[in-house]
Each structure stands twice: as structure tokens, then as C-alpha cells.
Structure 1
């Protein structure tokens, strides 16, 4: 299927590894021009080689609104347009209620949420021109809870609320805004977590057997396929949606 993303300029925060890396690779295959915002130099260079130079890698962290504004300015300087934003960067940092502090909670919210707003805010003039699309990568933890990670889950819940709020606010400009909620996705970060257990293979098998569809983890490429579809004109009448790509993990009976 031709998704008509040829030469569309798409920003992806955390776009070098894991889910973000899979989205970047998928966009390259579609002929789009990814702007990868990610400090990972090695993976970024691999994606540059894959794209044969038709890509921009900004090895920056988005700690402030000024950092986000700099990203937008550089993307426009290089390519003259922005057609979409994928908000993806974040970390499940374990700042909980019992084992945390108000200061740590505030920092967790800032690190996982503020750049979602700032990137879109500064990209908005370009998105208006091009009737662009925004995809927010959230998490099933926003609706199920996880325990011990108040900051991350609060940010993920806010991302879902902002998805609906922005979808309403941006209707006059025909800018579509949607969110994807991954559950158990086998990324390098997830693998590192699995390896922290005494019996990692047993732990992985235990989790996988609770995923109703296929008894397997979701692949990053499966999240990427949804994100790329939502960025395309094939999803021209989809906005304000929270879409689960999780093999039924969140909503189906896990005893199935």
C-alpha cells in the first residue's frame, strides 16, 4: 500500500531505538524524511546510512522548551516544512508514591510530558500549513496502572488527555491527533529489564503466555505500522482516538 508519505517531514522524539527506531525505519521505507531526535549516536548513524542521507539526526535531549524550539527551527532550516510529529521519548523511571518524593514526581512529569507539548506547540504553524498529523505514544499503564511509577503513569495519562484536547482544538485546521497505547513490546529497554531477573527466559515466558493473541510480545514494528498509518492520508478521518496495539493484553481476559 502506498501511504503517500513520500518526502513528508516527520519528527520522531526518541526515534533511534525501540519503538521510535521502528517508526523511523518504517518511514524511511515509505520515502518520508524522518527527523530523529535522540542522543543515541550509533543507532542514529545506522539510520542515516539506511536512509541514504535523506534524514536528519539531532542527538539532543529535550530538557526544556528551548530545546524543542531549536529542533523545530533546525528541521525547517534543513527541509523547509514539517508534516507530522511523533511524540515518543520517555522513560519508566520508577518514581512511585511510597518510594519517591514530590520533587522526583515533578521531575518525572517534566521529563515524560513537557516535551510532548513543546514540540507540537513550536511545530504548529507548519502543521497548520500542511494539515499535518500528530501521534502520541502513550502506554497501557495509563489505564491499568502498574505500581511504583506514579510520575511516568501520570504523564502517560496526561498524554491521552492531551490527545483528545488537541484533537478538538485543531479541528479547524484539519490536523489529526491520535494516541497509541503499547503494552508488552520487546524493545532493547524491555530486554534489559527482563535480563535483570534471575531467570530471564522464564520471566519472559510467564509474561508472554498472558498475552491473548498469539501468546507473544508485541513487536516494535507492529506499533510502528499503526503510527505510520495514522500519519498518512489513509487515516484522513481518524482523530482523537486511543488505539491499542497489544494483542488484546489490556482488554481481553488474560486467562484466554
Structure 2
């Protein structure tokens, strides 16, 4: 299926690793021009080289997204380079473990800045260009807003905000023809997930336990599977889809987990 994304400029925050890198690679494979926005030029360039080696087009901008001025500058750099933006993927963030009992005001606010404030800022600064292109916004969010996880108040609150903003922006931007959707991630295998699992006493045993609770296939979701859904929602093939929270999770959130062992 031709998704009609050839030469479309799509900004992807946190596009150097994990889910973000998966999105960048699928976008490039579809002929789009993904622009990685991330804090580490070294990490950004690793993914740039991988995409270019596969024959794709890609660009990168270094920005610390917790800094509002850096968000504004990142969008300005993209517009200076390409003169347009056809899509925005808000993806960057980290499950930082700022809980109610073990956190404080400063940590909680920092978590919100790491995980949801820049979603607003990037969309705000990209909006004039998106209005011109009638582009699309895709927010990556997490199950934690719906299921809870424990000891991660900041991240859970941020994801609740991401979900609410998806619906709010979908309404506000109807008049511009800008579609806004979200992909909700549950158990997805990424470098950050691998790092976390290795901190546990019996990482392989714990991984098997988690996988056993995922109804479809008793396996982790892949970054490519998240990316495939993301890229479809950015494309005109989903031209009448907006304000939706799409769960790409093997049924983890909504299906009876007893099914995984059936």
C-alpha cells in the first residue's frame, strides 16, 4: 500500500532510539523525510547513518526538549532547512520512577517537563506549519495512564495528559483539517526496557512472566509494530481518523490476560 508519504517532512522527538528509531526507519522506508529531534547528536547520527545506509532520507536536530527555547529553535531549524512540516510525532520521554511516596515537588515537575510539557511545546511551535500543510500529529503514550503501575506518579500523570491533549487538540484543530491521534504502548521491547529488566534479580524469568500475560502471541510488542501503526495514522490512508487512542499492545490492556495461557 502506498501511504502517500513521499518527501513529507515528519518531526520525530526521541527518534534516535527505541520506538522513535523504529518510527524514523519506517517513515524513511515509506519515502518520507523524518527529522530526529533528540538531545544526543551522537545517538541521532547513529540512526541517521542506519537510515541512509538503507537508502532513506533523514535529518537530525539536537535539542534538549525540557528547555522551551530549545523546542522552539528545533522547529525553526526544521523550517529553515525544509520550509515545511507535514507531521509531528511526539515520542520522547522516560518512565523515571517519580512516585508519590518516594518523590517530591521538584522531581514531579521535572518528570512532567520530561514527559508531557514538550509535547505541548512542539505542537505549539509546529502548528503554523501544520496549518499550512494540513498535517497530522501523533502522540506516543503509555498504558500507565489507564492501568497505573506504582511508583511512577510523574510518568502516569504525563501520559494522562498526553491522552487528554490528543482529544483536546483533535477538537481544536478540526477547523484546520489537522488530525491528531495517539498510539498507546504497553509492553514494548526497547533498549530502555532491556536496561530496566536487567536491573531485576532474575531478568529472564521476569521477562517470561510478563510475556505470558500478553494475550496475542505471549510476546512483547516490537518497535516496528508501533511504527507501522504510527506511520499509517500519519498518512492520508487514515484521512477520517482523529481523536483516537489506538492500543498497539497485543490486547494487554483490554483483553483478559488469562487468554494468554489458553
2:29 alignment partner in structure 1: 29
The farther-off stretch of 150-159 and 49-58 is 49-58
The 1-side partners of 2:56 and 2:176 are apart by 32
CA deviation after TM superposition for structure 1 residue 130, in Å: 0.7
2:236 alignment partner in structure 1: 233
Q: Please, what TM-score do these two structures have when normalized by structure 2?
A: 0.95
Instruction: Evaluate the alpha carbon distance shift between residue 162 and residue 46 of structure 1 in structure 2; reply closer, same or farther with a 3 A threshold.
Output: same
CA deviation after TM superposition for structure 1 residue 217, in Å: 0.4
- Alpha-carbon RMSD across the aligned residues, in angstroms, is 1.1
Which of residues 183, 187, 190 in structure 1 aligns to 2:186? 183
1:16-40 CA-partner distances (Å, limit 9, x unpaired): 1000000000011011111101134
CA deviation after TM superposition for structure 1 residue 60, in Å: 2.0
Alignment of 1:21-170 (within 5 A): 21-49=21-49, 50-51=51-52, 54-170=57-173
The 2-side partners of 1:2 and 1:43 are apart by 30
Q: Is the 8 A contact 2:63 2:71 kept in 1?
A: no
Q: Is the 8 A contact 2:31 2:56 kept in 1?
A: no
CA deviation after TM superposition for structure 1 residue 106, in Å: 1.3
1:172 alignment partner in structure 2: 175
Where in structure 1 are there 5+ consecutive unaligned residues? none
Equivalent pairs counted in the alignment come to 256
Q: Secondary structure at the match of 2:84?
A: coil
1:2 alignment partner in structure 2: 2
Q: Secondary structure at the match of 2:85?
A: coil
1:82-106 CA-partner distances (Å, limit 9, x unpaired): 0000000001111100111122111
Where in structure 2 are there 5+ consecutive unaligned residues? none
The 1-side partners of 2:202 and 2:173 are apart by 48
CA deviation after TM superposition for structure 1 residue 48, in Å: 2.1
Q: Secondary structure at the match of 1:138?
A: strand
The 1-side partners of 2:106 and 2:40 are apart by 27
1:222 alignment partner in structure 2: 225
2:257 pairs with 1:254 = yes
Instruction: Evaluate the alpha carbon distance shift between residue 25 and residue 53 of structure 1 in structure 2; reply closer, same or farther with a 3 A threshold.
Output: closer
Runs (4 or more) in structure 1 with deviation over 6 Å come to none
Q: Please, what TM-score do these two structures have when normalized by structure 1?
A: 0.97
